Amino acid sequence: MEVKFETESRQLLRRLRDLLAEESAGQERLDQITHLTADSMSTGVCSIYLFRDDETLELCATEGLKAEAVHKTRMKLGEGLVGRVGRTRRIVNTADAPSTHGFRYMPETGEEIYSSFCGVPIQRLGETLGVLVVQSKEARQYTEDEVYALEVVAMVIAEMAELGAFVGEGAALVARHSQPIIMRGIAGQEGTVEGHVWLHEPRVVVTNPVADDPHREMERLTEAVEDLRVSVDEMLAETTGSDEAQVLETYRMFANSKGWMRRMQEDIALGLSAEAAVEKEQSLARARMGQANDSYLRERLSDLDDLSNRLLRILTGQGTETGAEMPSNPILVARNIGPAELLEYGRALKGIVLEEGSVGSHAAIVARALAIPLIIRAERATTEALNGNHIILDGDAGIVHLRPDDSVVSAFRDKIAMQRQANERYSSIRDKPAKTVCGKVIGLHMNAGLMADLPSLENSGAEGVGLFRTELQFLIRNQMPKRTELAALYKRVLDAAGGKKVVFRTLDIGSDKVLPYMKPQDEPNPALGWRAIRVGLDKPGIMRMQLQALMRAANGRPLTLMFPFIAQYEEYKWARAEVDKALAREQKLGNPTPDRLEVGAMLETPSLAFAPEKFFRDVGFISIGGNDLKQFFFAADRENERVRRRYDTLNVSFLSLIEQIVERCDRTGTPVSFCGEDAGRPMEAACFAAMGLRTLSMRPASIGPVKSILMRTNLDELRQVIHAARHRGEQSVRPAVASFFQNTM
């Protein structure tokens, strides 16, 4: 009986393949699929529902229901049993549909005479395209074999929809990858840019979902899996990092999984090609990944997804090098990307869109260093975009416009033109000091982390580098860099600065910045865990090596360095002692030592603002690390969109803390600056200056806008506005400050 069913299934798939190979309209093809499926499974009804928009399913073809209901019957996601399948991506198989929870009667379809119902999601790589339904008059549940056959048919429908086989009239039958799409993500790096899509890993397209010779497909699958296993073993033999080895061991486990292989062989036995069988399993893994709450399970499913991609490339011969030429003004679209890969692209990219990632990820750090607009967590970016598609990034709002219509293009070109005009104005004041109306001069410095940033020191008008992130050179490697390599890099940085001050921040790793060759720490809250100076003090060998590299790079010139994430005075004293040891060692070796050495600390935890007075007298300078300080002050994870936007930088409590820090530093004569994203926002920067800060450090592109507003601001008047709003008991001074600028500029 089972053999007969499989034979009938293969016959159905062959008939489907022959049908889809014919020249016919999309609607006709859908109608024939429902007829073939209903006939093969001896059911009264077979219907295909497709999404017409993100929230609405539409009946697009049916065998058995009333023909006049086609393209008329619609339901919202989650509405009725069909909507339930579409929302949950799970099969509903019931012998008594009217009594099943969620059932919705649709009288226009004539379905009241059908009792049984089986709905299967039509999905491809985690994206749900619609629902395939069969119904019968007799009350019965469909067998496991019948459900399995429906899944295979649904998979073929999804694959052929990707290839444009069902294009017709109406929103539900519009050609895929042809309509304007708006994707909302999270701004990882600000900026507005227009360009064309460049897929980091081009999507593998399966053009032969149905095969004639199951035995040959079994052989192809076996050969490809063996090649995959060999490649994983070779990578594992060459790896040096334990973390990378752990990932590859997981790959090897999946590659040798008998269950994975058996499921793909069963799909082939039903009539799928080897490629389609792999993609069917991959789609199911993607669907499970989206529903998994457990982070470990999501990671394992992600590993399986990546392994499936590798297997598909072996089977199809579609490698990452497709022969396509990178378009003009390329905007990279990827699920995720590592820092080393991103650096290989360099400044050739105009923008980046990622489906995954975080605002503190390695990719985001590199994107900010390269001043490339970045949007993260843009769902469906890789499934919607095609190489060469027109795309616009609004990095300020975290919005991606894919294949935008003319009105959107016109509006964004106007915005970009206005920004260009503003940049021209900024260039005219580039070499002027940031002197306010009331006569106060604010020092504006830039943040950097790569040699590629240093030309901005001259072009932006920055007075120096207020923060040079030294961790990037550790993050982009597969092993610990050597002292000589670091010394050579730091020397090039100082040379390129041309005598302007460069503040080197010592290694800031941990939390979201994990070295690939360092054993990962299983911490429930890594942002509050073993990171930055805590790692340096626990592993002093790394700190000493870096300090020696910095001193050798200075080669008798002035050197300024600061320690990240100092939470208490003792940590600064211990870290400062390491500097003294490194200095003494260099003197003993006869190496030139810095002619002037400044050692400071980043104030990123509220606790340090209340440190003993002696700390403020001992420390060389303080740099307020605004990104982390705001996170800990408000107890709001800056990676969590649900809470991070709830708390305003111009909240009176936060400004009061800034004011208190400035006052303590003034009493002790300690130089103090503000470093972070908020320093680069003109309104916030002006408020910081009004609170007494005289040095700000930001990304190079922000220096012009910040200098422009400062040169037109009377800080004494702005300070009065802030104090008045605080006296009135307002939670944020933003409305009052915005009104002040509107009336005075």
**Tokens of residue 380, six digits:** 């469906």
Query: Which of these ranges, 290-299, 411-420, 518-527, 701-710, has the smallest mean pLDDT?
Result: 290-299
Active site (annotated) includes residue 687:
no
Give the mean model confidence (pLDDT) for residues 433-438.
95
Which of 194-208, 281-295, 553-567 has the highest average model confidence (pLDDT)? 553-567
The yes-or-no verdict on residue 109 having pLDDT over 70 is yes
Please pick, among 71, 362, 401, 445, the residue that the annotation labels catalytic. 362
Cβ atoms < 10 Å from Cβ of 284:
19
C-beta pairs of 609-614 under 8 Å, 24+ apart in sequence: 609/657, 609/660, 609/661, 609/664, 611/568, 611/569, 612/569, 613/664, 613/668, 614/569
Sign of the alpha-carbon dihedral angle for 720, 726, 732, 735: negative
Q: Which of 349, 357, 355 is nearest to 332 (CA)?
A: 349
Q: Which of 286, 343, 333, 325 is nearest to 309 (CA)?
A: 286
Sign of the alpha-carbon dihedral angle for 647, 650, 653, 656: positive
Going by pLDDT thresholds of 50, 70 and 90, the confidence category of residue 191 is: confident
Give the mean model confidence (pLDDT) for residues 4-19.
64
Give the mean model confidence (pLDDT) for residues 196-214.
80
688-723 confidence digits (pLDDT tens): 999 999 999 998 888 999 999 999 999 999 999 999
SS3 600: strand
Please pick, among 46, 60, 665, 675, the residue that the annotation labels catalytic. 675
Q: From CA 156, how far away is CA 276, in angstroms rounded?
A: 8
Going by pLDDT thresholds of 50, 70 and 90, the confidence category of residue 4 is: very low
The yes-or-no verdict on residue 520 having pLDDT over 70 is no
Query: Which of these ranges, 137-141, 193-197, 258-262, 642-646, has the smallest mean pLDDT?
Result: 642-646
616-650 confidence digits (pLDDT tens): 999 999 999 998 999 999 988 877 767 777 889 99
Give the mean model confidence (pLDDT) for residues 403-424.
84
Give the mean model confidence (pLDDT) for residues 89-107.
88
The yes-or-no verdict on residue 248 having pLDDT over 70 is no
Give the mean model confidence (pLDDT) for residues 468-484.
81
Active site (annotated) includes residue 665:
no
32-59 confidence digits (pLDDT tens): 889 989 988 889 999 999 998 889 999 9
- Stronger pLDDT, 201 or 361, i.e. the higher one: 201
Residue corresponding to tokens 């803390």: 657
Q: Report the 3 state secondary structure along 239-265.
A: CCCHHHHHHHHHHHHHHCCHHHHHHHH
Give the mean model confidence (pLDDT) for residues 235-255.
64
pLDDT at site 9: 63
pLDDT at site 330: 93
pLDDT at site 5: 41
The yes-or-no verdict on residue 241 having pLDDT over 70 is no
Give the mean model confidence (pLDDT) for residues 495-517.
81
Going by pLDDT thresholds of 50, 70 and 90, the confidence category of residue 346 is: confident
Q: Which of 10, 323, 250, 289 is nearest to 125 (CA)?
A: 289
**Tokens of residue 618, six digits:** 């001992």
Question: For all residues of the chain together, what is the average pLDDT?
Answer: 85
The yes-or-no verdict on residue 244 having pLDDT over 60 is no
Going by pLDDT thresholds of 50, 70 and 90, the confidence category of residue 2 is: very low
The yes-or-no verdict on residue 576 having pLDDT over 90 is yes
Rg (CA), the chain: 31
The yes-or-no verdict on residue 362 having pLDDT over 70 is no
pLDDT at site 299: 62
CB-based contacts of 1: which residues, under 8 Å, 6+ apart?
Answer: none
Percent of the chain with pLDDT over 70: 89
pLDDT at site 575: 93
Give the mean model confidence (pLDDT) for residues 268-285.
83
pTM value?
0.69
Query: Which of these ranges, 123-127, 338-342, 598-602, has the smallest mean pLDDT?
Result: 338-342
288-331 confidence digits (pLDDT tens): 666 666 555 666 666 677 778 788 888 887 655 555 678 889 99
CB-based contacts of 412: which residues, under 8 Å, 6+ apart?
Answer: 192, 194, 392, 394, 401, 404
Distances from the Cα of 45 to the Cα of 41, 129, 651, angstroms: 10, 20, 61
143-189 confidence digits (pLDDT tens): 887 888 888 888 888 878 877 778 877 777 887 777 888 999 988 88
Hey, what domains does the chain have and what are their CATH numbers? 2-173 (3.30.450.40), 181-202+322-412 (3.50.30.10), 214-316 (1.10.274.10), 437-744 (3.20.20.60)
Q: From CA 355, how far away is CA 290, in angstroms rounded?
A: 13
Residue 447 near residue 471 (C-beta atoms within 8 A)? no
How are beta strands 695-698 and 672-675 bridged, if at all?
Answer: parallel
